[in-house]
Structure 1
Amino acid sequence: MYIRQTSLFSFKEIIKFQQQSRLELILANIDVSKLANELRKPSNSKGPKGYEPEVFIYSLIAMQVEKIDTIKDLVVKLKENPVLRYCCGFDVLGKVPSESTFSRFLEKLSNSESLEQIFHDLVIKAKELDIIDGEHISIDSTKLDSFEAAKPKKNIVHDGTNPNWGMKKDTNGNNIRWFGWKLHILCDSKSELPLDLLISPASNYDGTMALPLIKQFFENYKDTFKPKYYAMDSAYDLDYVYKTIINEYQGIPIIAYNPRGSYAPPEGLDEAFNPICSGGYKLVYWGKDGNYLKFRCPHALGRCDCPHGMNWCSSSNYGYTLKVNYKENPRYYGYPLRYTDVWKKQYDKRTSVERCFSRLKCYLNLDNVRSKGIKKVKVHAILNCIALISGTIAINTMKSLSKAA
């Protein structure tokens, strides 16, 4: 099953607008006042007054929306295009900052946490508008190539802040190697919008980043969200990930099983992770009682004709019964049961994070990292996420108003 969002309008709709109206709609939803005040020069500082921080912020967001490759190209387009200048807050007939001025501002921006707060505020606004639900979330990563020249592994400093070599499998199972970073996103499955993100060197294993990302998500939003389902692919199939989601966050992990080279299912289970009896027959699921999952003898229920009968496993007329505390071994005995229709329905929603990445790369500028250092790479990712969420808010608000009119 391939889940498609039908009740919401996606960012793709706003891309059809003309440049001026598109940028105006996106920038109108972004409150940069707090960040601008933080980055504004003190009133008693010496030297030329310069440009207001707002115009730099809007220009950097416009750079992502218009898929402008470099700061140098941004400056050229601002000079040549009065519509772009107007949308970003510059005087239509006035001057624009130089490339070096933009670079200095980007350096200041990378040392501020207020840009991230703008991102979180937009997420909360989208939730208040019922665009974001937050009950079902998906987690995955995508590759980002480094702007820095590739280095041999032996010359890389592994301190968590430098790009390095990574490898992932594409949709066809082929290995892809690159030098750079990974963007880890926690995504809302309803809206297919990012809720939180982390940047790591490319070599970081996806599974180890799930819990830091979830922890950061709850710290950033406090009691705003309480997800029920956490969908992830087999890279996150780690026992401690299941247990932490269940016991600490009271959620339900929906994670694909990773056999890790084994040629048979775990002992006592068949290929679909159904418990089997000593005769090799599939036990029948008989409900959940608190933390316990109950399974009964299929012969006692008339589901099979075991040559040994019921007495082979139990002397009870009820037949053999297996009770499993799923919280003690959630990787094998999850709830809902792995590979049932209910489980598959929730797992299919995991593709929402893949479409989130697709929009960030196809309609925006995520795949075009042009800055060095993990802080600036994070700024680049957040700017793209801000544009994606703001544009989605704008198009849904506009459509709602037109329906109400």
Structure 2
Amino acid sequence: MTIIRQGSLFDLQELYNLEPTQRFEAIFSSIDIDPIFAVVTKKSRFGRPVKLNYAAMIYSLVARITERISFIKDLVKRLQNDMIFRLDCGFLVSDTIPSEAAYSRMVTILSESNVLEKVQGTLLHQAISEGFISDDTVAIDATHFLAKDGAPPKEEQPKSEPKKRGRKSKEEYEKWLIEKAELEANLPLFDKKIEDQLDIPLADLRAEIPQDPQWGVKKNSEGKNVFWYGFKAHLAVGTSSQYILQSLLSSANLNDGKAAIPLLKGIHERISLSSLLYETMDAGYDFEAVYTQIHRMGHRAVIAYNKRNEPEPIGFDKHFAPTCVREHSYRYDSFEVKYETLKYTRPNECKDCPLANDALCQKVYKVKITTDLRKFTAPARGSQTWKKIFKRRTAVERVNAYLKGYFQLNNVRYRTGKKAKVHFDLVTLVYNASKLAADRLNQMLNQQQVA
């Protein structure tokens, strides 16, 4: 494939400006479809003979996303009327064009398998081995998208009996505690507290995440609640490479923080990237269990603090840096990795202070981050390094915009959560494949310029 470009580097936009044949060839070569082909092909020699080109059908589903074809019926029509597009997808002239029902059966088969996640993992390991992913920071965030159908009518909730006024007797209180404990024990995993996820295996977490469309709510830029019916896409993105390292689809009503631990465990167990050190998130992920999981991974959390009506800390400022007797903040100096200790030095205002040599005003202040992982982070909250790393979080917002603007994340055409997940997995797979294709083309151009 000969592509002549001069001057600028390749990005996703330039990849999409290529001729379709060149673009398809670059993206298709980034995806190992053999595992998908093995799942969707007919397993028995009995029954109706196979007349469909399954490999070309898989490629055509990828092409549907890159070409922004809204409906499967439009994809079928395009295959019937556009010979070049048909050949680009891998169909032979003699091949039968698949019907909408054939594509529907393929999506149903894929919805019962996690093969798209495995292909995604293979692609990421290939990108790492080729040197395109070498991030030290991962940004995690969620974005919403609508379901195909409108929300069902709300069911009327039965009126509960009025609560009895007055204090419970000892027997009633003990009975109430037992009933409450039994109720909490029988809750689905993602209805429990976030800390209950810490010791659950990754496979179980991913298997139990709710995926049916539900009502979700978020605050807009004006601080008002906005409601939608559908799903949430949870992404963990490399802030430098902008590859999607882990992804999850959930019901819209799932709290963002409850998807953090499955994403973090996925990074730890499925991505062999030794350069990773930081995970950065907004205040919606400010939970003790999230910090604990990051600490278990040997990484460092850079998460915005959510005050939650907590009292003002005594002896510390708003960034939890220690303060002197006159309430001047100590300056963050360094982090001692071996002892997991933050080191602070005396404030500048204390140079001419009469208490400078007093025992109450110490020159150096040290605090272990394990004292409170949420408050004492490394680097320290409010420091220039912390702010610099936190700004990298915009990478995940940029990827969310790409998925909605270029890769049809908003265009879900399935009613069930399982099939919606197939669409979501295809979208993230095609995005990463496009990134890998653009990086390879960029590398080739650089080598040509050097030569």
Q: TM-score, normalised by structure 1?
A: 0.88
Q: What is the CA–CA distance in structure 2 between the aligned matches of 1:86 and 1:111, rounded to whole Å?
A: 29
Q: What is the CA–CA distance in structure 2 between the aligned matches of 1:216 and 1:66, rounded to whole Å?
A: 30
Q: Aligned-pair RMSD on alpha carbons?
A: 2.6
Equivalent residue number for residue 339 of structure 1: 382
Q: What is the CA–CA distance in structure 2 between the aligned matches of 1:201 and 1:225, rounded to whole Å?
A: 32
Q: What is the CA–CA distance in structure 1 between the aligned matches of 2:307 and 2:332, rounded to whole Å?
A: 23
State percent identity of aligned pairs: 32
Equivalent residue number for residue 4 of structure 1: none
Query: Would the aligned equivalents of 1:8 and 1:396 in 2 still touch at CA under 8 Å?
Result: no
Q: What secondary structure is seen at the aligned counterpart in 1 of 2:58? A: helix
Q: TM-score, normalised by structure 2?
A: 0.80
| Range moving further from structure 2, 368-377 or 91-100 | 91-100
1:364 aligns with 2:407: yes
Residue 14 of structure 1: CA displacement? 0.7
Q: What secondary structure is seen at the aligned counterpart in 1 of 2:316? A: coil
Equivalent residue number for residue 331 of structure 2: 284
Residue 8 of structure 1: CA displacement? 6.9
For residue 343 of structure 2, the aligned residue among 264, 289, 294 is 294
Q: Which runs of 5+ in 2 are unaligned?
A: 1-7, 158-187, 192-207
Q: What secondary structure is seen at the aligned counterpart in 2 of 1:385? A: helix
Q: What secondary structure is seen at the aligned counterpart in 2 of 1:327? A: helix
Q: What is the CA–CA distance in structure 2 between the aligned matches of 1:309 and 1:345, rounded to whole Å?
A: 32
Distance 1:162 1:276, change over 3 A: same
Query: Would the aligned equivalents of 2:268 and 2:297 in 1 still touch at CA under 8 Å?
Result: no
| Range moving further from structure 2, 391-400 or 226-235 | 391-400
For this pair of structures, how many residues does the alignment match? Answer: 390
CA offsets 1:149-179 (integer angstroms, 9 cap, x no match): 3135548999823211112234565533211
Q: What is the CA–CA distance in structure 2 between the aligned matches of 1:9 and 1:252, rounded to whole Å?
A: 32
Amino acid at match of 2:315: G
Amino acid at match of 1:168: K
Residue 382 of structure 1: CA displacement? 1.5
Equivalent residue number for residue 197 of structure 1: 247
Query: Would the aligned equivalents of 2:233 and 2:250 in 1 still touch at CA under 8 Å?
Result: yes
For residue 241 of structure 1, the aligned residue among 267, 290, 295 is 290
Q: What is the CA–CA distance in structure 1 between the aligned matches of 2:84 and 2:156, rounded to whole Å?
A: 46
Distance 1:401 1:217, change over 3 A: same
CA offsets 1:344-402 (integer angstroms, 9 cap, x no match): 11111111111111111111111111112222122111111221121222222123223
For residue 231 of structure 1, the aligned residue among 252, 270, 280 is 280
Q: What is the CA–CA distance in structure 2 between the aligned matches of 1:306 and 1:351, rounded to whole Å?
A: 42
Amino acid at match of 1:256: A
Equivalent residue number for residue 46 of structure 2: 45
Q: Matches of residues 345-384 of structure 1 in structure 2 within 5 Å?
A: 345-384=388-427
Residue 292 of structure 1: CA displacement? 2.2
Equivalent residue number for residue 258 of structure 1: 306
Residue 341 of structure 1: CA displacement? 1.2
Query: Would the aligned equivalents of 1:14 and 1:22 in 2 still touch at CA under 8 Å?
Result: yes
Q: What is the CA–CA distance in structure 2 between the aligned matches of 1:216 and 1:399, rounded to whole Å?
A: 29
| Range moving further from structure 2, 229-238 or 24-33 | 24-33
Q: Matches of residues 171-186 of structure 1 in structure 2 within 5 Å?
A: 173-186=223-236
Distance 1:103 1:287, change over 3 A: closer
Query: Would the aligned equivalents of 1:135 and 1:228 in 2 still touch at CA under 8 Å?
Result: yes
Q: What is the CA–CA distance in structure 1 between the aligned matches of 2:437 and 2:149, rounded to whole Å?
A: 35
Query: Would the aligned equivalents of 1:12 and 1:363 in 2 still touch at CA under 8 Å?
Result: no
1:402 aligns with 2:402: no
Distance 1:359 1:313, change over 3 A: same
